[in-house]
Amino acid sequence: MKTTKYSTQQAELPASLLAATRHIAAGEPGKAEALLRPYVHENPADVNGIRMLGEVGMSLGALRDADRLLARAVELAPEYHAARFAWANALYKRHRYEDALQQLDTLLGVEPDNASWLTLKAANLVEINEHAAAIPLFEKILCLHPDHRQAHLSYGHALRAVGRVDDCIHAYEKCISLDSGAGEAYWSLANLKTYRFCDEQIAHIESLLQNKQCPFRDYYHLLFSLGKAREDRKDYRAAMAAYVKGNQVRSRNVPWDAKVFHQECQRLSKFFSRNLFAERAGQGCAAADPIFVVGLPRAGSTLVEQILASHSQVEGTAELADMMAMARKIAGKKRRQDESRYPEALVDMSADELRQMGQAYLNSTRVQRVTDAPFFIDKMPNNFTHIGLIHLILPNARIIDARRHPMDCCFSGFKQLFASGQGFTYGQQRIGHYYRDYVELMNHWDEVLPGRVLRVQYEEMVADTENQVRRMLDYCGLPFEKACLNFHDNTRTVRTASSEQVRQPINTGGLGRWQPFDEWLGPLKETLGPVLKDYSL
Per-residue pLDDT reduced to its tens digit, 334-379: 776 788 999 999 999 999 999 999 999 999 999 888 889 999 999 9
Question: Is the pLDDT confidence value at 113 over 80?
Answer: yes
Question: Is the pLDDT confidence value at 123 over 60?
Answer: yes
Question: Is the pLDDT confidence value at 293 over 90?
Answer: yes
Residue that wins the pLDDT comparison between 162 and 202:
202
Q: Which of 93-107, 332-346, 408-422 has the lowest mean pLDDT?
A: 332-346
In this prediction, residues 391-420 reach a mean pLDDT of 95
Interatomic CA distance for residues 316 and 369, integer angstroms: 8
Question: Is the pLDDT confidence value at 500 over 90?
Answer: no
pLDDT of residue 3: 44
Question: Is the pLDDT confidence value at 2 over 50?
Answer: no
Question: Is the pLDDT confidence value at 304 over 70?
Answer: yes
In this prediction, residues 125-130 reach a mean pLDDT of 88
Query: pLDDT category, 421, cuts 50, 70, 90?
Result: confident
In this prediction, residues 156-179 reach a mean pLDDT of 91
Is residue 488 exposed (0-12), middle (13-18) or buried (19+ Cβ within 10 Å)? middle
Question: Is the pLDDT confidence value at 521 over 60?
Answer: yes
Question: Is the pLDDT confidence value at 20 over 90?
Answer: yes
Query: pLDDT category, 39, cuts 50, 70, 90?
Result: very high
Distant-in-sequence, close-in-space partners of 506: CB < 8 Å, separation ≥ 6: 303, 461, 462, 465, 488
Is residue 438 exposed (0-12), middle (13-18) or buried (19+ Cβ within 10 Å)? buried
Question: Is the pLDDT confidence value at 490 over 90?
Answer: no
pLDDT of residue 504: 58
pLDDT digits (tens, 9 = 90+) for 65-84: 999 999 999 999 999 999 99
- Report the chain's C-alpha Rg in angstroms: 24
In this prediction, residues 274-298 reach a mean pLDDT of 96
> What pTM was computed for the model?
0.84
* Mean per-residue pLDDT of the chain: 91
pLDDT digits (tens, 9 = 90+) for 172-185: 999 999 867 799 99
C-alpha separations of 446 from 124, 262, 274, 452 in Å: 38, 18, 11, 7
Q: Which of 107-111, 419-423, 494-498 has the lowest mean pLDDT?
A: 494-498
Sign for the CA dihedral angle at 320, 322, 327, 333 comes to positive
In this prediction, residues 189-204 reach a mean pLDDT of 95
pLDDT of residue 505: 63
Distant-in-sequence, close-in-space partners of 83: CB < 8 Å, separation ≥ 6: 6, 47, 50, 51, 54, 70, 73, 74, 77
Distant-in-sequence, close-in-space partners of 331: CB < 8 Å, separation ≥ 6: 340, 341, 342, 345
Question: Is the pLDDT confidence value at 296 over 50?
Answer: yes
Taking the C-alpha atoms of 294, 296, 300 and 301 in order, what is their torsion angle to the nearest 10 degrees? 30
398-403 and 290-295 as β-strands: parallel, antiparallel, unpaired? parallel
Q: Please state, for a pLDDT cut of 90, what percent of the chain lies above it.
A: 80
Question: Is the pLDDT confidence value at 44 over 70?
Answer: yes
pLDDT of residue 162: 87
In this prediction, residues 257-273 reach a mean pLDDT of 97
pLDDT digits (tens, 9 = 90+) for 310-329: 999 999 988 999 999 999 99
Question: Is the pLDDT confidence value at 537 over 80?
Answer: no
In this prediction, residues 426-436 reach a mean pLDDT of 97
pLDDT of residue 180: 74
Sign for the CA dihedral angle at 478, 482, 488, 493 comes to negative
Distant-in-sequence, close-in-space partners of 536: CB < 8 Å, separation ≥ 6: none
In this prediction, residues 401-423 reach a mean pLDDT of 93
pLDDT digits (tens, 9 = 90+) for 210-229: 999 999 999 999 999 999 99
pLDDT of residue 493: 56
- Collect contacts of 276-284 with beta carbons under 8 A, ≥24 apart: 277/388, 277/391, 277/392, 277/448, 277/449, 280/351, 280/354, 280/392, 282/395, 283/351, 283/354, 283/355, 283/392, 283/395, 284/351, 284/354, 284/355, 284/357, 284/358, 284/391, 284/392, 284/393, 284/394, 284/395
pLDDT of residue 261: 97
Question: Is the pLDDT confidence value at 499 over 80?
Answer: no
